Amino acid sequence: MASPLEWSAEVTPYSADQMYTITIAERVSSVLSLIGTTIIILTFILDSNFHKPINRMVFYAAWGNIASNIGTLISTDGLRLGVNGPLCQFQAMMVQW
């Protein structure tokens, strides 16, 4: 079994550099999405013109997006530390929530 801090061919067909690139892209995308959801939530809370049913749906969906983004910010760290470990389990809960 590979060390919990590095990937091997047994775990993934990608090289370590490719996994690092995927992790960076995933985290950058998650941060941009979190910025967007923050703007959505603040706009809904601060401007009463947005208190319409369709905007309310987007407001609630933004909270689910935050949970999913927390999971994607964890990226591959949850897997590397073990699928039965608390970080991986928390990540799975956030993505499924």
Domain region containing 86 = 16-96
Which pTM does this prediction carry?
Answer: 0.77
Residue 6 in domain: no
- Regions of the chain where pLDDT drops below 50: 1-4
Residue 52 in domain: yes
The predicted structure's pLDDT at residue 2: 45
- The token duo for 89 is 């389990």
For the chain, the domain total comes to 1
Q: How far is CA 95 from CA 20, 44, 50, 88, in A?
A: 21, 24, 27, 11
The predicted structure's pLDDT at residue 96: 87
